[in-house]
Amino acid sequence: MNTKGVIVALWNQIYPNADNKLLDDFFKELEVYSRAANESNPYWYKDAVVYSLYVDLFNKDFNGLIEKLDYIRSLGVNTLWLLPILDSPMRDGGFDIRNYDKIRHELLGLPENHTKQEQEEVFGRFLQEAHSRELRVIFDVALNHISETHPWFRQAITSEDNPYREYFIWSKDTSLYKDARIIFKGMETSNWEKLGGWYFFHRFFNFQPDLNYRNPKVLIDMLRNFLYWQQLGVDGFRADAIPYVWKEEGTNCENLPQTHLILKIFRAVLDHVRPGTLLLAEACQKPNKVVEYMGDGDECHAAYHFPLMPMFFKAIASQQAAPITQILDTEVTPVIPDNAQWFTFLRCHDELSLELVYVSEADRKYIHDNYCLQPEWDFRQGEGISARLANLFQFDERKIGLAYSMMLTLPGTPVIYYGDEFGKENDQHYYNEMIKLAGKDDTRFLVRGKINWPLREAQLNDPSTFQYRVFHRIQKMLEIRSQTGVFGRGSIDFIAIQTGESGANQALLAYERSLGKQRIVVLQNLSAKPQLAMLNEYGQTGIDLLQDKILDLQEIVMKPYAYHWIKID
């Protein structure tokens, strides 16, 4: 079936009673978009190393970011994930979008009333500079909700007869969708917000009304927004908050079948215009649910492995390999389509221990007890922790390096959160500023904050500093990773390191990654004590790629929190 046939079939499943003229008119629009030549590497996201940043917090604006592209590239990164850049009142860090086809003027260095042409010149120059350095660019688009200041919502509240009224969900009965949980527990008390004699539905903050995808015009308008940026040269999109897109009475309004049909349409349209444009799922769900967002290779190209992230922290706190091996067992993390990919990370702009990512509440409590080291780090009444990687590990560069070793060598595409490469700490000043703007005590602002580049550059040039040591640990690992495709594409086999009659040493996390003739054994000591490892089945010696030296595989004495990447001939 051709692309048009696929879209029509999906459309008819979602909107069996819709006026097909709406879709026919959209197909005519689609013809004006120039179709790019086939992507030479359509699975480029499997070889990516992603760097996630806020443009303004990183270095003021896009011109400032251009100045730092060489720094980012030198780190070993080949993809930029720009955290929210679209026009927004910034009450939710930019996820409250006011205009989908407009970038915040301060990021462009332009006046607020800038023209589309001016925007395209500035942003186009940034894309050109990034692409010339072989850096791909993706950014966030929230599919589920918008800002109350968006023109659609401003129109909707003018009268009950306004056509934009049906872009949102209204009711006088707040018992509707009563099974939909409150996501921002502790900050919101209801999913309904009163406005006049009506209530509008929202899953996140009360200033973020949910879009009504039962109205097919909403889907068409959102597709137009994606096409605009794709045509300018953006390499992909992080689809934010997608599990909540469709609402159905009598359900929890998450992961519903219609949501997947909508995503399939997004994918088909993007593939039609430029194959290889990444659609990345942000679905804070357990693995068996997240996998569904990759469909049969026809929904999102990739998804975050949210459940793996907290297990890095549990493994180090417990000094046990089991949290990693268990979460990656196929009974917990199902096999994904061949053309799909997991994205992995240690920290991000959100809290540690994101809502539904745990296999058990005991895991959540364990991590909270071990890592919520300050009362002000508590987020969502004990469900999350707002702290940077360096703070969580109490500035122990060995633990930071160990965590990165795991993330960079386990299956998936790794994401580095800006500043973590040199151990950026929590930003109390930025947090204090932002809670005044947002009007909500959102402690996630602690893990954001600006980079003071004169200070950081001085630290990165001084071998005696913590920042220098962390940076060079991570840079070395990224250098080795970039020289092989085995970590992004290869198979994995876990290795039990035997310690005599007592069985496998649970403090050692070991696995073989292989791709074709490439074989690399990753050996990691999760313990605060030295450990002895023996890899007798791999011969006498192997090359430690990180230290560029030969190891005796019959007897490897590992220091606390040490790790080796061993090339096997």
The separation between CA 234 and the C-alpha centre of its own chain, rounded to angstroms, equals 17
Q: Where are the alpha helices (DSSP H) in 205-304?
A: 216-232, 257-273, 287-290
Secondary structure (3-state) at 439: coil
Bridge partners, 193 (sequence order):
200
The Cα 318–Cα 201 span in angstroms is 42
Q: How many CB atoms lie within 10 A of CB 290?
A: 27
The Cα 472–Cα 481 span in angstroms is 14
User: 3-state SS of the chain: helix, strand, coil percent to 5?
Assistant: 40, 20, 40
In Å, what is the CA distance from 120 to each residue of 50, 68, 110, 129, 557?
A: 24, 20, 12, 14, 56
Per the residue annotation, which of 56, 193, 240, 299 is the catalytic one? 240
Q: How many CB atoms lie within 10 A of CB 455?
A: 10
Torsion of CA 238, 183, 288, 300, to 10 degrees: -20
Minimal CA–CA distance to 343: which of 384, 293, 387, 383? 293
Number of residues written out for the chain: 569
Tokens for 513, please give them: 């990654």
Per the residue annotation, which of 47, 56, 140, 282 is the catalytic one? 282
Question: Which residues have C-beta within 8 Å of that of residue 352, sequence separation ≥ 6?
Answer: 309, 310, 313, 367, 371, 384, 385, 386, 387, 392
- Check if 193 is active-site: no
Give long-range contacts, CB 8 A cutoff, 24+ apart: 98-105: 98/146, 98/147, 98/149, 98/150, 98/151, 99/150, 99/151, 100/141, 100/222, 100/225, 101/225, 101/228, 101/229, 104/56
First-to-final CA distance of the chain: 46
Q: Please name the residue that has the structure tokens 């192997």.
A: 542
- Check if 254 is active-site: no
Quote the DSSP letter at residue 312.
H
Q: How many Cα atoms sit within 13 Å of 73 on the Cβ side?
A: 15
Question: Which residues have C-beta within 8 Å of that of residue 239, sequence separation ≥ 6?
Answer: 141, 143, 263, 266, 279, 280, 281, 282, 300
Residues designated catalytic: 240, 282
